[in-house]
Amino acid sequence: MDVEYDPEREAFAAMKRAGEADGAERQRWINAALARIELIRLRASACCERGMTHETA
C-alpha cells in the first residue's frame, strides 16, 4: 500500500469533526486541525528554501 500522508486532507477532516463535537472534544479537534495546517506551512517553507515546487516535494 503506497498512500502518501496528506496533512491538508487531515486538517479538513479534523475541522469537520470539530463541527460535530462540542466542549473539550471540539477544542481537541480544532487543535489537531491547526497542527496539521502548521505541517502544511512548514512543508511549503522547506520546499521554497530548497527551490522545490509542490509537485516535486
How wide is the angle at C-alpha 33 spanned by C-alphas 55 and 26, nearest 5°?
Answer: 160
> Worst-scoring range by mean pLDDT, 7-21, 22-36, 38-52?
38-52
Task: State the average pLDDT over residues 32-45.
Answer: 90
Distance, CA of 30 to CA of 35 (rounded, Å): 9
Task: State the average pLDDT over residues 22-45.
Answer: 93
Kindly state the percentage of the chain with pLDDT values over 70.
86
Element (H, E) at 10: helix 7-20
Task: State the average pLDDT over residues 18-32.
Answer: 96
Q: Is the pTM of this model over 0.75?
A: no
The pLDDT value given to residue 56? 52
